[in-house]
Structure 1
Amino acid sequence: MSLGALLLLAILLFLAGNAWVIARSSSYIESTVTQCGPERVGVVFGTSNWTRSGLRNPHFHSRMRTAAALIHAGRVEQLLLSGDNRTRAYNEPRAMWQDLTRRNVDGERLTLDFAGFSTFDTLVRAKNVFLLDKAVLITQRWHLPRAVFIGRALGMDVVGCVANDNAVKGEWRLRLREWFARAAMLGDLYIWHREPYFLGPAEPIMPFNATEPVTD
């Protein structure tokens, strides 16, 4: 009976934690490009541009499409491309830069963060390395509650911009994993006080076509 009670308590805490994250972040998430911003910098979260089966990753391309649309609509001025670059053969920020420049985004508007190994690392580095206090976060709807919650817990004034795409086969696995990631995030923030994998010196993002750094 004690084991059952503990299991029930764990399930209730898991569900309550997810509900809290979603409730606290929902008012800061916008669904269309015209509702997002205006803001100086948009943060694009990295993911592979190819799936394990060798197909184009629709989540990657919807993030790039939304990020480019924000630039072209004047809703953000610059983009911070943050992703994983642990090996020479796998480079998410470089793939994002290549895709966005093909979408006619000026390369001078793009800043690459090669140590965005996780959502948490991306946001801590956005604040402490790139010195951002405000930003638009660009990723899928199911990912945004966690991203927005982390950013605001770190003291950043962030809003989420949904990277729209159609439902993808097998996406339920990502959505299910996100429920566990939200619960783990609460432990990282409030129990274990997680630190990013790598910080390094401050590298403030220069305003487009300017010479002096400006922080929000």
Structure 2
Amino acid sequence: NNSSADLGVLNECLQEMLDGIQEDFYAIVDWAFKLDPLSCIPMHGITDRYIAGQKTEVAGYVSVLLDDLESRITILFSRVEKYERNVKQVGVVPYIPRFSQLAARMEQYITGSRDLVDQAYTKIVTIMFVTLEKIAQVEPKYADIVLLENYAAFQHSLYDLANVVPTLAKYYHQASEAYEQACSRHINLVIYIHFEKLFQFARKIEEQMYNMSPEEVSTAIWPFTSI
């Protein structure tokens, strides 16, 4: 009991001594973000690990301070994700090749924060793919072409990293499946456009077969068999 009381007094003294230091911590985070937004990733991870490794009763005020700092870092880091969400262009959208650069940098900064980085990949790639599908629907006639180009670009730019990062490998395969689906739809559309008249002719012949004798059908299709 005396020990707990002493710790309480100690934490109160620390709070009085360090009151106002939050602004210095925030200034460091803001400064780091201006230099390189991705530096928030290791800062977030290091802060998270430190908080998890401390006993609240031993460093109560420090824990509260770091919780506030972690919240601020999380808010700043979310700006990276929001940036991707607002991109609206046609063709290969800029954030597709840019993501591979982002991922390469994040892998450099990981410093033991694997879970945090994987969570970031999940959020960002999900936003990217949803946004891409919406962009493709702006011109439905070319939707599959837009998807083909972008999913192919995603796979090409992320090939090396996908071989060593399991989370990225998952999204690489997801892009591959989406690419194959778009490719299949596009091929079917091209075939239909080029052979539409032939398909119409085949349907007419099939319809006539139910209403005409075999001799009449043979006479009707004879001009086409001699082409």
Q: With the length of structure 1 as denominator, give the TM-score of the two structures.
A: 0.25
**Higher strand fraction (1 or 2):** 1
**Higher helix fraction (1 or 2):** 2
Q: Please say which structure displays the higher CA radius of gyration.
A: 2
Higher relative contact order (CA 8 A, sep 6+): 1
